[in-house]
Amino acid sequence: MVADFQLTYPYQAYTMKKLLTSVCAVAALASLSGCETTDLKMGNSEAKTVATGSAAGAASTNTNSQLERCASPLGTVSLIENEQAGWYTILRNEYRLPPTANLLRLMIQQSNCFVVVERSAAGMNAMSRERALQQSGEMRAGSNFGKGQVVSSDYGMSPEVIFNQNTGGGVASLGGLLGGGTGRVLGTVAANTATREASVLLTMIDNRSSVQIAASEGSASKTDIGGMASLFGTAAGGGVGGYQSTPQGKVIAAAFMDAYNGMVKSLRNYKAQTVQGQGLGGGGRLGVDGAAPPSQTSAPQPTPTSTAAPKKAPAKKAVAPAATTTTTK
């Protein structure tokens, strides 16, 4: 019967076949409407996590299970953000995201690998203000804001973000090749499909020597399939195209966690770099003609303090009084 219909009405049969093909394509796309957003990937295809939970001292709750942790801190660290960098301008002005330091503070404290100390402009101003109140005499007695209490920052950690975005041109090209209703369907979806990628860098320096201790790169990506709402109505496409309202921060958070995890893993096997035959900054091994020979350098050594009891001064010998003689006349 089907064969007879195709022979008798070849054009109608072709049109129906094409219509059925388009319907199948639309149905396949409709099945995706319930999972329009792929899992967040952090460093590998299966990762789907961001920074979560809270921290207080060495304790933390609801910490991401993929965050690397340390048994005890390696030192104190402060966050250094270059607010004049181009990526920082994009982060704050275009994506309306808070400073990356806020995110890294949570990760670092939850990991227990470092103790975070305050060095931001706002934080330092607040501490200075409290000390000014103490010196003005306005604070209660016993407030204890005396000198010598601020903890030094052993290390400084600097974040950097690199943005990249791919908007699914491959699907759009396929839609143009197919043409017709099927092509329009794929083209509509492609127009609202976006893959967001973020690549970040973390570097850490030793504040006393200025030597770079560690550096780590991290990345994450996330893909949204949009356009379903316009094809199937709001009931079938609920939540589709949500990437337009989803913060880029989710991708950045995953990328920073990827970078921080890599840094912690490297620090577990840390070995200080040294220049053979000389200290750091002594001239280097790549000498030039006429230059002074390299020298052995070292940091100034602290003056040893004696713990021995002070010696007693020798006792003075008693001087006997001079003998007196009496003459009898």
Q: Could you report the per-residue pLDDT of 32-84, keeping only the tens digit for each?
A: 554 555 666 655 444 344 678 889 999 999 888 899 999 999 999 999 999 99
Tell me which of 76-90, 150-164, 223-237, 302-316 is least confident: 223-237
Cα gap 174→180, rounded to integer Å = 12
pLDDT in tens, 73-118: 999 999 999 999 988 888 888 878 888 898 899 999 999 999 999 9
Find the helix packing angle between 10-30 and 180-191, rounded to 10°: 20
C-alpha span between 81 and 89 (Å, rounded): 12
C-alpha–C-alpha distance, residues 81 and 19, integer Å: 57
**3-state secondary structure (DSSP) of residue 106:** helix
Residue with tokens 């000389």: 278
Instruction: Report pLDDT digits (tens) over 151-180.
Output: 999 999 999 998 766 545 444 444 444 455
The Cα–Cα gap between 49 and 221 comes to: 11
User: Phi first, then psi: what are they for 154, rounded to 5°?
Assistant: -65, -40
Q: Residues 203, 212: contact at Cβ < 8 Å?
A: yes
Cβ–Cβ < 8 Å for 207, 155? yes
For 305, the 3-state DSSP assignment is coil
In the predicted structure, residue 329 carries a pLDDT above the cut 70: no
User: CA-CA distance, 246 to 181, in Å (whole number)?
Assistant: 30
Q: How confident is the model at residue 124 (pLDDT cuts 50, 70, 90)?
A: very high
Q: Are 86 and 162 in contact (CB under 8 A)?
A: no
Q: Where are the domains of the chain?
A: 1-31, 37-135+150-235+245-267
Return the number of other C-beta atoms located less than 10 Å from residue 83's C-beta. Answer: 10
Q: Three-state DSSP class for 88? A: helix
The model's pTM is 0.66
Alpha helices (H) in the chain, listed in sequence order: 2-8, 10-30, 86-89, 100-111, 121-136, 169-178, 180-191, 228-236, 249-267
